[in-house]
Structure 1
Protein backbone atom coordinates (compact mmCIF):
# COMPACT_ATOMS: atom_id res chain seq x y z
CA UNK A 1 0.00 0.00 0.00
CA UNK A 2 2.86 2.37 0.80
CA UNK A 3 4.34 1.71 -2.62
CA UNK A 4 1.00 2.74 -4.12
CA UNK A 5 1.29 6.11 -2.36
CA UNK A 6 4.72 6.72 -3.86
CA UNK A 7 3.58 5.61 -7.32
CA UNK A 8 0.46 7.79 -7.14
CA UNK A 9 2.47 10.80 -5.98
CA UNK A 10 4.99 10.35 -8.78
CA UNK A 11 2.22 9.94 -11.35
CA UNK A 12 0.46 13.11 -10.28
CA UNK A 13 3.42 15.42 -10.79
CA UNK A 14 2.74 18.29 -13.14
CA UNK A 15 5.39 20.46 -14.70
CA UNK A 16 4.91 24.12 -15.51
CA UNK A 17 6.90 25.81 -18.25
CA UNK A 18 9.06 28.67 -17.03
CA UNK A 19 12.28 30.53 -17.73
CA UNK A 20 15.07 28.12 -16.81
CA UNK A 21 17.51 30.96 -16.18
CA UNK A 22 15.37 32.01 -13.25
CA UNK A 23 15.74 28.72 -11.36
CA UNK A 24 18.53 26.50 -12.69
CA UNK A 25 18.15 22.77 -12.06
CA UNK A 26 20.56 21.32 -9.53
CA UNK A 27 21.62 17.79 -8.74
CA UNK A 28 21.26 17.71 -4.96
CA UNK A 29 22.33 14.16 -4.32
CA UNK A 30 21.83 10.59 -5.32
CA UNK A 31 18.47 9.29 -6.28
CA UNK A 32 16.92 5.88 -6.61
CA UNK A 33 14.12 5.13 -9.01
CA UNK A 34 13.28 8.81 -9.46
CA UNK A 35 12.61 9.30 -5.75
CA UNK A 36 15.41 10.89 -3.76
CA UNK A 37 16.45 9.07 -0.62
CA UNK A 38 18.83 11.75 0.63
CA UNK A 39 18.35 15.19 2.06
CA UNK A 40 17.44 16.94 5.24
CA UNK A 41 15.58 14.82 7.77
CA UNK A 42 15.72 17.07 10.81
CA UNK A 43 13.00 19.31 12.13
CA UNK A 44 13.44 22.53 14.09
CA UNK A 45 12.78 21.94 17.79
CA UNK A 46 10.25 24.76 17.97
CA UNK A 47 8.37 23.22 15.03
CA UNK A 48 8.08 19.94 16.96
CA UNK A 49 7.20 21.27 20.38
CA UNK A 50 5.12 24.38 19.69
CA UNK A 51 1.38 24.88 19.56
CA UNK A 52 1.22 22.91 16.30
CA UNK A 53 1.97 19.77 18.33
CA UNK A 54 -1.15 20.38 20.39
CA UNK A 55 -3.12 17.74 22.24
CA UNK A 56 -4.86 16.81 18.98
CA UNK A 57 -1.73 15.48 17.27
CA UNK A 58 -0.50 11.91 17.31
CA UNK A 59 2.36 10.73 19.47
CA UNK A 60 5.15 8.40 18.42
CA UNK A 61 8.40 8.76 16.57
CA UNK A 62 7.10 8.91 13.00
CA UNK A 63 3.91 10.84 13.70
CA UNK A 64 5.79 13.37 15.82
CA UNK A 65 7.61 14.46 12.67
CA UNK A 66 5.52 17.28 11.22
CA UNK A 67 7.66 18.38 8.27
CA UNK A 68 7.97 16.63 4.91
CA UNK A 69 10.94 17.83 2.82
CA UNK A 70 11.09 17.87 -0.98
CA UNK A 71 13.76 17.90 -3.65
CA UNK A 72 14.46 20.95 -5.79
CA UNK A 73 11.56 21.84 -8.10
CA UNK A 74 9.68 18.68 -7.12
CA UNK A 75 6.38 17.78 -5.52
CA UNK A 76 7.19 14.07 -5.32
CA UNK A 77 7.18 12.52 -1.85
CA UNK A 78 10.60 11.14 -0.94
CA UNK A 79 10.74 7.48 0.04
CA UNK A 80 11.96 8.40 3.53
CA UNK A 81 8.68 10.25 4.27
CA UNK A 82 6.19 7.61 3.10
CA UNK A 83 6.03 6.00 6.57
CA UNK A 84 5.74 9.41 8.26
CA UNK A 85 2.73 10.34 6.12
CA UNK A 86 1.23 6.88 6.67
CA UNK A 87 1.50 7.34 10.46
CA UNK A 88 -0.35 10.66 10.24
CA UNK A 89 -2.91 9.05 7.94
CA UNK A 90 -3.58 6.22 10.38
CA UNK A 91 -4.03 8.68 13.24
CA UNK A 92 -6.39 10.93 11.26
CA UNK A 93 -8.40 7.99 9.89
CA UNK A 94 -8.90 6.77 13.47
CA UNK A 95 -9.82 10.24 14.78
CA UNK A 96 -12.43 11.67 12.42
CA UNK A 97 -12.87 14.91 14.41
CA UNK A 98 -9.20 15.89 14.14
CA UNK A 99 -8.22 18.20 11.29
CA UNK A 100 -4.92 19.21 9.72
CA UNK A 101 -3.72 22.07 7.58
CA UNK A 102 -0.96 21.22 5.10
CA UNK A 103 1.24 24.26 4.53
CA UNK A 104 3.32 24.13 1.33
CA UNK A 105 6.62 26.02 1.15
CA UNK A 106 9.44 26.52 -1.37
CA UNK A 107 12.92 27.95 -1.43
CA UNK A 108 13.48 31.45 -2.80
CA UNK A 109 14.49 30.45 -6.33
CA UNK A 110 11.91 31.02 -9.03
CA UNK A 111 9.19 33.62 -9.43
CA UNK A 112 6.73 34.31 -6.64
CA UNK A 113 3.86 32.95 -8.77
CA UNK A 114 5.71 29.76 -9.66
CA UNK A 115 6.63 29.14 -6.01
CA UNK A 116 3.04 29.62 -4.82
CA UNK A 117 2.00 26.97 -7.36
CA UNK A 118 4.82 24.61 -6.38
CA UNK A 119 3.97 24.97 -2.68
CA UNK A 120 0.35 24.13 -3.51
CA UNK A 121 1.36 21.07 -5.56
CA UNK A 122 3.47 19.84 -2.63
CA UNK A 123 0.60 20.29 -0.17
CA UNK A 124 -1.83 18.56 -2.55
CA UNK A 125 0.56 15.62 -2.99
CA UNK A 126 0.67 15.06 0.78
CA UNK A 127 -3.13 15.53 0.91
CA UNK A 128 -3.67 12.81 -1.71
CA UNK A 129 -1.37 10.46 0.22
CA UNK A 130 -3.39 11.06 3.41
CA UNK A 131 -6.68 10.45 1.60
CA UNK A 132 -5.33 7.12 0.35
CA UNK A 133 -4.83 6.19 4.01
CA UNK A 134 -8.57 6.64 4.65
CA UNK A 135 -8.53 10.24 5.88
CA UNK A 136 -11.74 12.16 5.08
CA UNK A 137 -11.48 15.14 2.71
CA UNK A 138 -13.11 17.37 5.34
CA UNK A 139 -10.21 16.68 7.72
CA UNK A 140 -7.55 18.17 5.44
CA UNK A 141 -7.05 21.70 4.17
CA UNK A 142 -4.12 23.06 2.18
CA UNK A 143 -2.42 26.42 1.83
CA UNK A 144 0.68 27.52 -0.06
CA UNK A 145 3.05 30.15 1.29
CA UNK A 146 5.57 29.72 -1.52
CA UNK A 147 8.83 31.37 -0.52
CA UNK A 148 7.19 33.80 1.95
CA UNK A 149 7.83 31.88 5.20
CA UNK A 150 11.33 30.40 5.08
CA UNK A 151 12.41 27.98 7.82
CA UNK A 152 16.06 28.87 7.20
CA UNK A 153 17.68 32.04 5.90
CA UNK A 154 20.56 31.81 3.47
CA UNK A 155 21.48 31.53 -0.17
CA UNK A 156 22.94 28.04 -0.24
CA UNK A 157 21.69 24.48 -0.67
CA UNK A 158 21.63 23.88 3.09
CA UNK A 159 19.12 26.71 3.65
CA UNK A 160 17.15 25.99 0.47
CA UNK A 161 16.72 22.31 1.38
CA UNK A 162 15.10 23.26 4.71
CA UNK A 163 12.65 25.59 2.96
CA UNK A 164 11.33 23.05 0.42
CA UNK A 165 8.71 21.47 2.68
CA UNK A 166 5.13 20.79 3.71
CA UNK A 167 4.32 21.37 7.36
CA UNK A 168 1.54 19.27 8.91
CA UNK A 169 -0.31 21.49 11.38
CA UNK A 170 -2.93 19.89 13.63
CA UNK A 171 -5.95 22.08 14.31
CA UNK A 172 -7.73 21.67 17.64
Structure 2
Protein backbone atom coordinates (compact mmCIF):
# COMPACT_ATOMS: atom_id res chain seq x y z
CA UNK A 1 0.00 0.00 0.00
CA UNK A 2 1.20 3.51 -0.80
CA UNK A 3 1.18 6.30 1.80
CA UNK A 4 -1.06 9.05 0.39
CA UNK A 5 -2.34 12.48 1.40
CA UNK A 6 -5.64 13.93 0.19
CA UNK A 7 -7.72 16.98 1.03
CA UNK A 8 -11.24 18.31 0.55
CA UNK A 9 -9.79 21.85 0.54
CA UNK A 10 -6.56 21.84 -1.48
CA UNK A 11 -5.55 20.08 -4.69
CA UNK A 12 -2.10 18.84 -5.64
CA UNK A 13 -0.92 21.11 -8.44
CA UNK A 14 -3.82 23.52 -7.89
CA UNK A 15 -4.09 27.07 -6.61
CA UNK A 16 -4.37 27.52 -2.86
CA UNK A 17 -7.94 28.58 -1.98
CA UNK A 18 -8.59 31.93 -0.27
CA UNK A 19 -9.36 30.08 2.99
CA UNK A 20 -5.68 29.13 3.26
CA UNK A 21 -4.41 32.66 2.48
CA UNK A 22 -3.44 34.69 5.53
CA UNK A 23 -5.35 37.87 4.68
CA UNK A 24 -8.43 36.07 3.35
CA UNK A 25 -9.17 33.15 5.67
CA UNK A 26 -6.05 31.89 7.45
CA UNK A 27 -7.64 28.50 8.03
CA UNK A 28 -5.76 25.22 8.13
CA UNK A 29 -7.01 22.84 5.41
CA UNK A 30 -8.65 19.46 5.75
CA UNK A 31 -6.02 16.74 5.37
CA UNK A 32 -6.54 12.96 5.26
CA UNK A 33 -3.95 10.22 4.89
CA UNK A 34 -3.91 6.48 4.33
CA UNK A 35 -1.49 3.64 3.78
CA UNK A 36 0.90 4.40 6.65
CA UNK A 37 3.71 1.87 6.86
CA UNK A 38 4.00 -0.76 9.55
CA UNK A 39 5.71 0.62 12.64
CA UNK A 40 4.04 4.04 12.46
CA UNK A 41 3.57 5.30 16.01
CA UNK A 42 2.48 8.89 15.30
CA UNK A 43 2.11 11.44 12.52
CA UNK A 44 3.39 14.95 11.91
CA UNK A 45 2.34 17.63 9.43
CA UNK A 46 4.19 20.57 7.95
CA UNK A 47 3.40 23.33 5.50
CA UNK A 48 6.47 24.90 3.96
CA UNK A 49 7.05 27.57 1.29
CA UNK A 50 10.45 26.99 -0.36
CA UNK A 51 10.01 30.08 -2.56
CA UNK A 52 9.90 32.70 0.20
CA UNK A 53 12.66 35.29 -0.26
CA UNK A 54 14.36 34.46 3.04
CA UNK A 55 17.26 32.26 1.99
CA UNK A 56 15.70 29.43 3.98
CA UNK A 57 12.06 29.27 2.91
CA UNK A 58 9.13 29.85 5.26
CA UNK A 59 7.38 27.51 7.73
CA UNK A 60 3.60 28.03 7.71
CA UNK A 61 2.59 25.13 9.93
CA UNK A 62 4.13 22.37 12.02
CA UNK A 63 2.19 19.74 13.96
CA UNK A 64 3.66 16.67 15.68
CA UNK A 65 2.65 13.85 17.99
CA UNK A 66 -0.65 13.14 16.21
CA UNK A 67 -1.70 9.70 17.53
CA UNK A 68 -1.27 6.75 15.15
CA UNK A 69 -5.01 6.00 15.16
CA UNK A 70 -5.82 9.42 13.64
CA UNK A 71 -6.03 9.59 9.84
CA UNK A 72 -7.35 13.07 9.17
CA UNK A 73 -7.62 16.64 10.43
CA UNK A 74 -10.74 18.68 9.78
CA UNK A 75 -10.68 22.09 8.13
CA UNK A 76 -9.69 24.59 10.82
CA UNK A 77 -8.17 21.96 13.14
CA UNK A 78 -5.37 24.38 14.00
CA UNK A 79 -7.92 26.59 15.76
CA UNK A 80 -8.70 24.12 18.52
CA UNK A 81 -9.52 20.87 16.73
CA UNK A 82 -6.28 18.93 17.00
CA UNK A 83 -6.34 15.46 18.54
CA UNK A 84 -5.30 15.04 22.16
CA UNK A 85 -1.53 14.91 22.48
CA UNK A 86 -0.78 16.77 19.24
CA UNK A 87 1.40 19.87 19.47
CA UNK A 88 1.83 22.78 17.06
CA UNK A 89 5.03 24.69 16.57
CA UNK A 90 5.86 28.31 15.89
CA UNK A 91 5.51 29.51 12.31
CA UNK A 92 7.97 31.90 10.73
CA UNK A 93 5.38 34.59 11.44
CA UNK A 94 6.31 34.01 15.10
CA UNK A 95 2.91 32.58 16.05
CA UNK A 96 1.82 29.09 17.06
CA UNK A 97 -0.59 27.34 14.70
CA UNK A 98 -1.39 27.61 11.02
CA UNK A 99 -0.26 30.75 9.19
CA UNK A 100 -1.71 31.14 5.72
CA UNK A 101 0.01 32.11 2.49
CA UNK A 102 1.24 35.70 2.19
CA UNK A 103 3.94 35.99 -0.47
CA UNK A 104 5.23 39.47 -1.27
CA UNK A 105 3.18 41.25 -3.97
CA UNK A 106 4.62 40.73 -7.42
CA UNK A 107 7.04 37.99 -6.28
CA UNK A 108 5.43 35.39 -8.51
CA UNK A 109 3.79 32.12 -7.53
CA UNK A 110 4.96 30.36 -4.38
CA UNK A 111 4.64 26.64 -3.66
CA UNK A 112 2.98 25.55 -0.43
CA UNK A 113 4.03 21.99 0.36
CA UNK A 114 1.75 20.22 2.83
CA UNK A 115 3.43 17.05 4.06
CA UNK A 116 2.24 14.32 6.39
CA UNK A 117 4.95 12.21 7.97
CA UNK A 118 4.59 8.67 9.34
CA UNK A 119 6.80 8.74 12.43
CA UNK A 120 8.50 5.82 14.21
CA UNK A 121 8.07 7.24 17.75
CA UNK A 122 4.99 8.18 19.78
CA UNK A 123 6.30 11.64 20.56
CA UNK A 124 8.94 13.93 19.09
CA UNK A 125 10.77 16.26 21.52
CA UNK A 126 9.17 19.43 20.15
CA UNK A 127 6.75 22.00 21.51
CA UNK A 128 4.90 25.16 20.64
CA UNK A 129 7.97 27.35 21.17
CA UNK A 130 9.95 25.42 18.54
CA UNK A 131 10.64 26.46 14.96
CA UNK A 132 9.96 24.56 11.78
CA UNK A 133 13.68 23.85 11.56
CA UNK A 134 13.59 22.00 14.89
CA UNK A 135 10.52 20.02 13.81
CA UNK A 136 12.27 19.22 10.52
CA UNK A 137 15.47 18.16 12.26
CA UNK A 138 13.61 15.69 14.48
CA UNK A 139 11.50 14.41 11.59
CA UNK A 140 14.67 13.74 9.59
CA UNK A 141 15.62 11.01 12.06
CA UNK A 142 12.17 9.51 12.66
CA UNK A 143 10.30 9.50 9.33
CA UNK A 144 9.17 6.14 7.96
CA UNK A 145 7.28 7.63 4.99
CA UNK A 146 5.84 10.92 3.85
CA UNK A 147 3.18 12.12 1.44
CA UNK A 148 2.62 15.60 0.04
CA UNK A 149 0.19 17.95 -1.63
CA UNK A 150 1.71 21.02 -3.28
CA UNK A 151 -0.47 24.01 -4.15
CA UNK A 152 0.57 27.44 -5.37
CA UNK A 153 -0.46 30.98 -4.57
CA UNK A 154 0.58 34.31 -6.05
CA UNK A 155 -0.06 37.75 -4.58
CA UNK A 156 -0.56 39.90 -7.64
CA UNK A 157 -0.90 43.02 -5.48
CA UNK A 158 -4.56 43.46 -6.32
CA UNK A 159 -6.88 44.79 -3.64
Scaled by the length of structure 1, what TM-score is found?
0.29
More helix by share: 1
More strand by share: 2
